Each structure stands twice: as C-alpha cells, then as structure tokens.
C-alpha cells in the first residue's frame, strides 16, 4: 500500500469559504501532483511539483493554489469556494519517471 494520505476525505462547505485540502506522503518522493476528477470522467492534472519550492500549473486551469514547503506535504487551497469547484481531488506522488501513487482523494461539495 502506498503511504500517501489526504484529509479531509469528504467536505461539504458553503460558497465563499476558504478551504485547504491536505496531502502528505512518507515515501520521500520529490514529485507530487493534484488531479481533479468528476464522476465518470478522466483525471485532469491541475498542479504539480518537482520538489520543495517548486510548483507548476497543470493542464486544466484551476482557481486553486498549492505550496510545497516540505517534501512530504503538498496542500491545495481554494480562497473562495464555488459550486463549480465541486469535484473529487486526488493527490499523487512519484519518483523520477515512475508510476504515480494516489491518495484516497477528497470529495468536495460546495453548496
């Protein structure tokens, strides 16, 4: 089993609230990723990081932001949640060129 954790697992929140989705891994991987996935749809990369203090936007535009202050921690923040942000958010990590290991995901609902 991969040692990558996400909290909360489920979050229901009102419009306009600021939220932070947590992701941590204990494998020492330099590379970490955030994906967004709607039911029955493909994963879309929204952010990635190749190491501490390195963050890049992914292929799908997102209003969220990320930070990478420590190797093991890659939180995602939404400053003002909207119903259009309702989705599942999956965090993953990998070593150089290798397969990605996924966390269990956070299912976000914005009312």
DSSP letters spanning 27-72: S--SEEEEEEE-TTS--EEEEEEEETTEEEE-SS--S-EE--SBTT
Q: How far is CA 90 from the centre of its chain?
A: 5
Site for another protein in 57-76 (CB under 8 A): 58
In whole angstroms, give the CA distance from residue 91 to residue 111: 23
Instruction: Give the binding range for another protein (CB under 8 A) out of 15-23, 66-74, 77-85, 96-104.
Output: 96-104
Nearest approach in angstroms of CB 55 to another protein is: 13
5 vs 16, 67, 72, CA distance in Å?
A: 26, 16, 10
Nearest approach in angstroms of CB 18 to another protein is: 25
Q: Indicate whether 21 belongs to the interface with another protein (CB under 8 A).
A: no
CB-nearer residue toward another protein: 31 or 68: 31
CB-nearer residue toward another protein: 8 or 16: 8
Neighbouring CB atoms inside 10 A of 93's CB total: 26
Q: Which residues bind another protein (CB under 8 A)?
A: 31, 33, 41-43, 45, 48, 50, 58, 88, 90, 94, 96-105, 107
């Amino acid at each position: 089993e991969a040692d990558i954790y996400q909290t909360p697992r489920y979050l229901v929140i009102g419009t306009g609230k600021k939220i932070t989705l947590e992701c941590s891994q204990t494998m020492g991987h330099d590379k970490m990723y955030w994906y967004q996935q709607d039911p029955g749809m493909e994963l879309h990369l929204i952010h990635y990081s190749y190491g501490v203090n390195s963050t890049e936007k992914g292929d799908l535009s997102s209003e969220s932001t990320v930070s990478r202050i420590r190797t093991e921690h890659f939180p995602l923040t939404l400053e003002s949640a909207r119903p259009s942000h309702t989705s599942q958010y999956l965090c993953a990590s990998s070593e150089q060129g290798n397969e990605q290991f996924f966390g269990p995901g956070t299912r976000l609902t914005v009312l």
